[in-house]
């Protein structure tokens, strides 16, 4: 028996975390960075960090926000490394790249417009929006992921939603 495959924190093994979160985390990362190849690389980095840190996780209840925090931090680190992306300002770089990226279905115009609008948000706003809208995290969980207050997150989500709506109808 490989003990490293059964590394235990409060009743959680790496295998269990992998089974439960590999696909949700992939899609979270994909929505953040758009490119399939980049998402794959970031997903692997994320699970390496999860494996290394699993022993330090105190409560099983915090698992979901913990794994999303690791994935989000990896995404933000990746985006900050790209000189053409500013982490503080809205940008259209990823949105502009979307249609020319492989692994994008161009036939669904509405979904494409929606995603372009999402990618045009700042990475912080995109994080809040995707975690709330797609991953159904509570504001309290998102607060654990991002380190922001619940009130700030509610405002950020509202603004992000408005921007996406405006982008869709324009």
Query: Which parts of this chain interact with other proteins (CB under 8 A)?
Result: 2, 4-5, 7, 14-15, 18, 22-23, 26-27, 30-31, 34, 36, 40, 43-44, 47-48, 51-52, 98, 103-106, 108, 110-112, 114-115, 133-134, 161, 164-165, 168-169
Give the shortest CB-79-to-other proteins separation in angstroms.
17
Task: Give whichever of 55 and 147 is closer to other proteins, judged by the CB atom.
Answer: 55
Task: Give whichever of 134 and 151 is closer to other proteins, judged by the CB atom.
Answer: 134
Give the shortest CB-136-to-other proteins separation in angstroms.
10
* Sign of the alpha-carbon torsion through 140, 123, 163, 40: negative
Q: How far apart are CA 154 and CA 140, in angstroms?
A: 10
Radius of gyration of the chain (CA): 17
Q: How far apart are CA 2 and CA 35, in angstroms?
A: 34
Task: Give whichever of 10 and 53 is closer to other proteins, judged by the CB atom.
Answer: 53
Q: Is 9 helix (H, G, I), strand (E, B) or coil?
A: strand
Q: Is 12 helix (H, G, I), strand (E, B) or coil?
A: strand
Give the shortest CB-129-to-other proteins separation in angstroms.
12
Please answer whether residues 10 and 58 qualify as being in contact, where contact means their C-beta atoms are separated by less than 8 angstroms: yes
Task: Give whichever of 148 and 167 is closer to other proteins, judged by the CB atom.
Answer: 167
């Amino acid at each position: 028996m490989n003990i490293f495959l059964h590394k235990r924190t409060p009743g959680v093994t790496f295998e269990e975390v992998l089974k439960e979160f590999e696909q949700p985390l992939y899609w979270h990362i994909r929505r953040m960075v758009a490119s399939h190849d980049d998402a794959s690389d970031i997903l692997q980095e994320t699970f390496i960090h999860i494996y290394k840190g699993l022993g330090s996780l105190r409560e099983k209840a915090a698992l979901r926000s913990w794994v999303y925090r690791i994935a989000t931090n990896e995404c933000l680190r990746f985006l900050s490394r790209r000189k053409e992306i500013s982490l503080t300002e809205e940008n259209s770089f990823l949105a502009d790249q979307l249609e020319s990226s492989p692994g994008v279905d161009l036939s669904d115009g509405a979904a494409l417009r929606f995603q372009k609008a999402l990618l045009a948000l700042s990475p912080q706003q995109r994080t809040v929006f995707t975690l709330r809208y797609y991953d159904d995290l509570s504001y309290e969980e998102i607060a654990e992921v991002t380190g922001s207050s619940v009130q700030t997150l509610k405002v950020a989500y509202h603004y992000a939603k408005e921007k996406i709506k405006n982008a869709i109808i324009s």
